[in-house]
């Protein structure tokens, strides 16, 4: 008698699937890797305060495109629809692998802002906190859900 065998296929998201979002990069700060969740609201407030101070001196809104895919979280300057992409002028702001995305922080008191805590696996034990602003709050919810569903379990998004 021959044994019965079968294969179960996992439902996978294609590796090339990604979503992109147009946002404003408010700023970033390096933080120690032992930074706790209770410290993050102060770090986010510090980034926003530094951004507000620098915009008084030199007003500039940093429009970016945030690309969320199973392979990476990538941030690039948003040149708009007018300019054609030029590989000689290309400059990515950052790109991280999914395992480095530690937390996505969303403040329910100011729903247009969110932060992303990146923990680098390097020996220097440094992490970076990036703060973003979405013009459309519904778009922000989409960004957070997309990133948290691709990178980690839903507990990745913290409501502050």
pLDDT digits (tens, 9 = 90+) for 98-129: 888 888 888 777 888 888 888 876 666 679 99
Query: What contacts 20, CB < 8 A, 6 or more positions away?
Result: 65, 66, 67, 68
Compute the chain's Rg from CA coordinates.
18
Where along the chain do its domains lie? 20-78+89-159
Q: Choose which CATH entry (1.20.1250.20, 2.30.29.30, 2.40.170.20, 2.60.120.380) describes domain 20-78+89-159.
A: 2.30.29.30
Pick from 27-31, 128-132, 149-153: least confident: 149-153
User: Following DSSP, what letter does each residue of 6-51 receive, concatenated?
Assistant: ---------TT--EEEEEEEEEEEEEETT--GGGHHHHHHHHHHHH
- Are 114 and 128 a contacting pair, CB within 8 Å? no
Please give the angle made by the CA atoms of 146, 95 and 22, to the nearest 5 degrees: 50
Q: Of 127, 157, 130, which is closest to residue 143 (Cα–Cα)? A: 157
Q: Is 94 exposed, middle or buried (0-12, 13-18, 19+ CB in 10 A)?
A: middle
pLDDT digits 0-9 by tens, 19-56: 888 899 999 999 987 888 888 889 999 999 999 888 77
Query: Which ranges in the chain belong to alpha helices (H)?
Result: 40-57, 137-151
Q: Which of 20-29, 48-57, 62-71, 135-144 has the highest mean pLDDT?
A: 20-29
């Amino acid at each position: 008698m021959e044994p019965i065998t079968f294969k179960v296929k996992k439902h996978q998201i294609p590796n090339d699937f990604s979503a992109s979002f147009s946002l404003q990069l408010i700023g970033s700060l390096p933080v120690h890797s032992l930074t706790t969740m209770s410290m993050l609201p102060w770090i986010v407030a510090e980034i926003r305060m530094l951004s507000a101070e620098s915009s008084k001196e030199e007003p500039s809104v940093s429009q970016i495109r945030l690309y969320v895919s199973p392979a990476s979280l990538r941030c690039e300057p948003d040149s708009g629809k007018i300019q054609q992409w030029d590989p000689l002028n290309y400059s990515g702001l950052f790109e991280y692998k999914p395992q480095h995305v530690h937390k996505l922080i969303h403040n329910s008191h100011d729903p247009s802002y969110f932060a992303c805590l990146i923990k680098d696996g390097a020996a220097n034990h440094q992490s970076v906190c990036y703060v973003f602003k979405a013009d459309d709050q519904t778009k922000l919810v989409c960004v957070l859900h997309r990133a948290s569903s691709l990178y980690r379990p839903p507990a990745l998004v913290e409501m502050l």
